[in-house]
Structure 1
């Protein structure tokens, strides 16, 4: 019984209940860690570093944390700066569903603060496998290529580029002259804007007049046909003159059709001329005016 009591007292002495449970992790650089540094979880202090032990390829860091702080088997350690002027603390991020127990957190899940010495050492790894011989040979070949007559070749290339730029500059001047000429043409054309507008008005009047007469002649021909149908019984009484009468009527109808067809062509031509002058006036920002072609004159059989 005395032996058992002695063993229990010895365990309690080295592992007091108030000091909590042990957590450990490995690191390959313990320069920023000191015994007594705080251990925090989610920003809350839960313990402190109690011991550091040097091993062949790593350092074992031990800490004591509160018993009620759960540490999972996938937990990570991040050593962070405590203040701007210095000092560090151990941030313990608990991950995993199973307790960590006495198993130390491996180096792969431990992040140390920025180290200038380590950064400089890592930069040599970028170029340590670079073969400098081909690069040196390439630079030597470039150096040899820029000697002797090759320098003249480079000068010739530069001169050719300058000549090309001179040609572009000269062509740009020619384009400028063309634009200036077009400006003068437009300015001269704008002086006749009033005459163009007057001409457009006259064309629109002539066009609308032709349209009205065109519809009137069509109505006349249709009425004439109806009249012929109405007087057909009377014409049958004059059988001796029927052929001559019908021939004259046919001739009149043919002349009327020719006039209507030619009138339609004339109207379309006048409309094209009016559209042309309208575009000229629009290009000169002339104000729109009311034209005869914008109005409609109703005639029998052709309502507006």
Structure 2
């Protein structure tokens, strides 16, 4: 076998780059492989209902794949999805469901049939169900309310109430009068109600766009609550220990109150004496510094002690002959 260092480095580099490129391609597209990534199926829906690629595919609440593509084909919506590890029959029903309260969608499958579902045969419209979007419901409600002539509606109820006032029971007249009053109330608040519904639709859209963040927040909250549940015994023991310690300290104070009281009184007196002599203490501390510095100078020469004698020999004029050192 030819040694590695004797081979052509250019060829070795090309082979290595090709191998790395193939491995990288496999890493990024492994879900598209027939065996590893699962099987691709197609379902036809009358409308997309907010379903988008990368939404989950679930069977009995368990995730088995994801939506790969949503596109319009002729007069229906073609939804392509991949599933792995689940059996799907030739009578399988596909439905677009609302995954969260914020409006995120998922594709729910109900396996049925006696034979396995052919990946080349789409699930027809007869076996697909489309969910009604909450955001669209608010939008439709806002449009419907804006189209209602509330003034005419109130007048109609008034007319009905007056027409039937003599021939209808009191309960019916009361109901018509109540509906008339309700219509007038809606009429007076028509603009505010329309704005409220429009804003509700906007809030629904924003919440739907922020579904991932809300899901992460809920997941983190669940993790926190789970951790609290796991540490419940430790937290309970800590609280019980704190309660017992408080009781013991209270009992200790009660038992030693006769000794603690006089001790605190004496301590108060000592503090009062120290406060009263604070000026003298400050002066003593100021004088202690030069004193200990001179002592350090005197005994700081190893085994010897420096001394200074003043006035041992008198001067000729009868004075001491020296001047004592100053601080």
Structure having the higher Rg:
1
Scaled by the length of structure 1, what TM-score is found? 0.34
Higher RCO, 1 vs 2 (CA within 8 Å, ≥6 residues apart):
1
